[in-house]
């Protein structure tokens, strides 16, 4: 599997606190079946990560982990950070691919200008990958908010814990709704520590049930971003619907 969202770089945000914890996250990722991991620290007002800090921390973790896991660069940018110069945005490109940028969905509210900001990236030749919209309260109430964004070319990344159900009922129901509506393209761990919002995607794959769709979400689409290929179309099969059980 390929995980294009983690906070493994030490000391930059609310993820790994130090190099030992970063290495522990990497070991856990490998044990879960992840072979490529994007290190995507927060880039926002409370965590003003610079490209230089990201690059230096990535080199440190790569040296400590060796060939066990392929680490690729990136950043998780707040919407307000999209005003940075184009050249600086590209240094935070997802998996080092200048055609993609990971953008953080706000947890509260739905910005009126989100479409304008994301369309601005698309016009500049950058595809936004919208991280964890299933955890936004407005999207939980109205998943169709993502329809015009996806129609324009935005990709949507769900958190593995939301798909699996470990992040609470509302985010779980929202994630499944987005999958059913065809409004999701990737699953990633958003791993912060080995224990809290831990690294790992195999639980989400098991929860999906459908092997073809699971591979598309965790290998095919993220693999196209990593390898600078063409994102393949979603497979024809729908997510298998779970049976509903009533009573105890």
Cα separation values, 104 from 16, 40, 159, 189, 197, Å = 18, 11, 12, 14, 16
- pLDDT score for 239: 47
Helix (H, G, I), strand (E, B) or coil at 132: coil
Tokens for 135, please give them: 């955890």
- pLDDT score for 197: 67
Q: Is residue 97 part of a domain?
A: yes
Q: Is residue 152 part of a domain?
A: yes
Average of per-residue pLDDT across 38-60: 97
Q: Is residue 13 part of a domain?
A: yes
Q: Which of 220, 229, 234, 105 is closest to 157 using CA atoms?
A: 105
Q: Which of 227, 201, 191, 218 is closest to 9 using CA atoms?
A: 191
193: pLDDT strictly greater than 70: yes
* Structural domain containing residue 90: 2-226
238: pLDDT strictly greater than 50: no
Q: Is residue 222 part of a domain?
A: yes
Rounded percentage of the chain residues whose pLDDT exceeds 90? 91
Coarse DSSP helix, strand, coil percentages of the chain, rounded to the nearest 5 percent: 45, 15, 40
245: pLDDT strictly greater than 70: no
Q: Is residue 238 part of a domain?
A: no
145: pLDDT strictly greater than 50: yes
Q: Is residue 231 part of a domain?
A: no
Is the Cβ–Cβ distance between 120 and 82 less than 8 Å? Answer: yes
Average of per-residue pLDDT across 152-157: 98
Indicate the number of domains in the chain.
1
The pTM for the full model equals 0.93
Residue 52: give its domain's CATH number. Answer: 3.20.20.140
Q: Is residue 248 part of a domain?
A: no
Q: Is residue 10 part of a domain?
A: yes
């Amino acid at each position: 599997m390929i995980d294009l969202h983690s906070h493994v770089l030490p000391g930059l945000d609310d993820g790994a606190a130090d190099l030992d914890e970063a290495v522990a996250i990497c070991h856990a990722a490998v044990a879960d079946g992840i072979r490529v991991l994007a290190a995507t620290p927060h880039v926002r007002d409370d965590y003003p990560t610079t490209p230089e800090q990201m690059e230096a921390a990535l080199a440190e973790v790569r040296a400590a982990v060796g060939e066990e896991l392929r680490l690729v660069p990136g950043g998780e940018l707040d919407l307000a950070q999209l005003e940075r110069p184009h050249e600086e945005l590209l240094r935070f490109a997802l998996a080092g691919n200048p055609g993609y940028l990971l953008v953080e969905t706000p947890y509260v509210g739905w910005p009126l200008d989100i479409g304008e900001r994301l369309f601005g990236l698309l016009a500049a030749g950058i595809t936004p990958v919208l991280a964890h919209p299933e955890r936004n309260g407005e999207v939980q109430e109205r998943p169709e908010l993502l329809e015009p964004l996806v129609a324009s070319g935005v990709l949507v990344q769900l958190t593995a814990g939301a798909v699996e159900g470990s992040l609470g009922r509302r985010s779980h129901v929202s994630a499944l709704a987005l999958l059913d509506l065809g409004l999701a393209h990737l699953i990633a761990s958003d791993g912060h520590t080995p224990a809290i919002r831990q690294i790992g995607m195999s639980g989400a794959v098991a929860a999906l049930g459908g092997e073809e769709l699971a591979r598309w979400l965790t290998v095919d689409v993220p693999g196209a971003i990593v390898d600078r290929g063409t994102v393949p179309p979603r497979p024809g099969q729908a997510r298998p619907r779970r049976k509903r059980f009533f009573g105890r």
